[in-house]
Structure 1
Amino acid sequence: MSSLPPLPYNNWADTKDTLHLFLQMIGKVRLKAHPKLNHWWHVTLYPHVRGLTTGRIPYGDSGFEILYDMLDHKVLIGRNDGVQKSFSVSGLTVAAFYEALFSRLDDLEVPVKIVSKPYDNKSTVPFPEDHAPRAYDRQAVSDFWRALCRISSTFETYRTSFVGKQTPVQLYWHSFDLVVTRFSGRAHPLEGGTQADKEAYSHEVISIGFWPGDDSFQEPALYGYAYPEPAEMNQIALQPGSAFWAEKNGGALAILKYEDARNADDPAKEILSFLNSLYEGAAVKADWPLADLKHRSF
């Protein structure tokens, strides 16, 4: 039996959209309240033993945390002094979730104000005005969390071999993907693009991730890419054999379908071979100093 749960896209696409909007609201709180970090690292969410968390957010002389519990399907907001508020999420509209979240933040004397509309999302309705009924399949959300946990563990193993600058395992709530990004150490400012793009792509990177699928690619997958993209990157031989190259926004994107990894004898090993083949191949083509960036135990 696979260690990864099935995640058939069409079975939970509507629930995924609901969860995505709920997590955008939580992520926007972290964006507003946390001190700014390079490459937008201050906005991300992190895998937790029960779901996804903001981690501790400094606030004045204190701090707070928001946890989206994907097992009991509730949101818990706690302060340093132990005071906590919570609410259940099943059956809520986006507007009801917004009201529940921010009323409890006010109760905890953490009056954070966000730009209250979705970011880079197919929904453009402001959160407080989105009263449409929303799908919420509790089992599907819990299965997605289990997939995140297992893949996060493999991503942590991937991180151990690199001594250079790299991100923690983190979830970007705008694109809804779990990511690890490695840096060569060389600057390469993006020409054109938005302010957000320029902050994200100011240096050479090789990035890997997992996302649950969307309307344009209707199945979950692992992926990888490089910025700037080296010549003939899509000629790199990927592992395992089921991995392939696709085109996205004019660039090369390495893909390993989640279902192919899930059905392997050892899914973690399958995923790790994909990540390493992508990184090593892209780093060679981009002339990264691989030997200097490789971690060696003492």
Structure 2
Amino acid sequence: MTINHQNLPDLPLEAWEESKMTLHLYLQIIGKIRLKLTPRKNHWWYITFYVSSKGLTTGSIPYERGVFEITFNFLKHQLEMSSSEGKEVAIPLHDGLSVAEFYQQIQDGLTQLGIQVAIVDRPFYIPDVDKPFEQLEEQKAYNAEYIERFWRLLIWVDDVFKEFSGRFYGKSCPVHLYWHHMDLAVTRFSGKEGPDLDPDMRLSDKDAYSHEAISFGFWAGDDTVREPAFYSYTHPSPDGIDQQPLQPASAQWVDSNGSPQAFLTYENLRKEENPRQALLDFMESAYQAGAKLADWNVEKLTVPPLNDL
């Protein structure tokens, strides 16, 4: 399957929800390995996955004798681990491979690579899933067709997000996939510190929201939002942002944990004559709404054209 602006795939959550949960848990296991071994970087940028020509990858992870990389290869449907010492391990991904079995095979594979790492071996913030990975026998669905469809859509979204990100002159994160919510995201920062945060807020959220930010993302749906969608939010959220115009016409402001969030369903995007431009317009309109009301220096943070190249 190839993806272009006229051929965005159907991705109904109900068709692969169990497989999505299994994949989400697989990603958390590998993400926690990267978290444990990678030097810290602000806003949790050091724990994420990147869209690649094969699937999703951690990029290089350091260990005592060099670096290694872990890749979900959705062309061959296997998990690949390779080290700078030339060692390689491949684990087939298939329907019936439980999270518990996957976790054990990962441990065995790391041992073959000569890598020792201990992680917090429980899922992070996944409702109704609160057992150690080694006990998760029920989560074992793997619909290869829909998982590959999801990845190929991520390739398209990743490309659009990168084009949008390149228009900004300020601090911005890579386009990457966070494994806690399984969303592809990119965030812009004004350069100013955010307001004091609730002392009872989780440490993970405090690090994410230490500075003013406008974030954009895509996720495939969950137990609350029952369809794939794009979002944007401004932190801290300025008064009146939900009265600002959004593009395209089908985009809207919705409530998200007490704050306005710009929201565009994937199905509505697919109906647009030019979905790529519509997605760029959505992100730009959400950015302008937040940046202007929060008094960002929009003009200074806009990349000028490079007409002399």
* TM value normalised by structure 1: 0.98
CA distance in 1, matches of 2:263, 2:165: 19
The answer as to 2:256 corresponding to 1:248 is yes
Q: Which residue of 2 aligns with 1:50?
A: 54
Q: Is 2:197 the partner of 1:190?
A: yes
Correspondent of 1:148 among 142, 145, 154: 154
Q: CA deviation at 1:133?
A: 5.2
Partner in structure 1 of residue 9 of structure 2? 5
Identical counterparts, % of pairs: 42
Secondary structure of 1:181's match? strand
1:26 is displaced (CA, Å) by 0.7
Divergent runs of 4+, >6 A: none
- Counterpart of 1:225 in structure 2: which amino acid? Y
- Which residue of structure 1 lines up, in the alignment, with residue 115 of structure 2? 110
Which residue of the other structure, out of 88, 97, 100, is the alignment partner of 2:102? 97
CA distance in structure 2 between the partners assigned to 1:150 and 1:78 by the alignment: 26
In structure 1, give the amino acid aligned to 2:167. S
Residue pair 1:3, 1:267 contacting (<8 A) in 2 also: no
- Matching of residues 70-85 of structure 1 within 5 Å: 70-85=74-89
Aligned to 2:140: 134
CA distance in 2, matches of 1:190, 1:269: 36
Equivalent in 279, 298, 305 of residue 271 of structure 1: 279
Q: Which amino acid aligns with 2:178?
A: Y
Q: Determine if contact 1:223/1:255 at 8 Å carries over to the other structure.
A: yes
TM alignment of 1:9-20, pairs within 5 A: 9-20=13-24
1:217-256 → structure 2 map (5 Å cutoff): 217-256=225-264
Query: 8 Å contact 1:190–1:197 — kept in the other structure?
Result: no
Take 2:165 and 2:70, find their aligned partners in 1: how far apart are those partners? 26
The one-letter code of the counterpart of 2:249 is G
Calculate the aligned-residue CA RMSD, in Å: 1.1
In the TM superposition, what whole-angstrom CA distance separates every residue of 1:95-144 from its partner, at most 9, and x where no partner exists?
00001111101110111111111000121111011122522111000000
Say which of 163, 173, 177 aligns to 2:179. Answer: 173
Please list the CA deviations of residues 37-58 of structure 1 after superposition, one character each: whole Å capped at 9, or x if unmatched. 0111111111111110000111
How many pairs were matched up? 298
TM-score, normalised relative to structure 2:
0.94
Q: 1:3: how far off?
A: 3.0
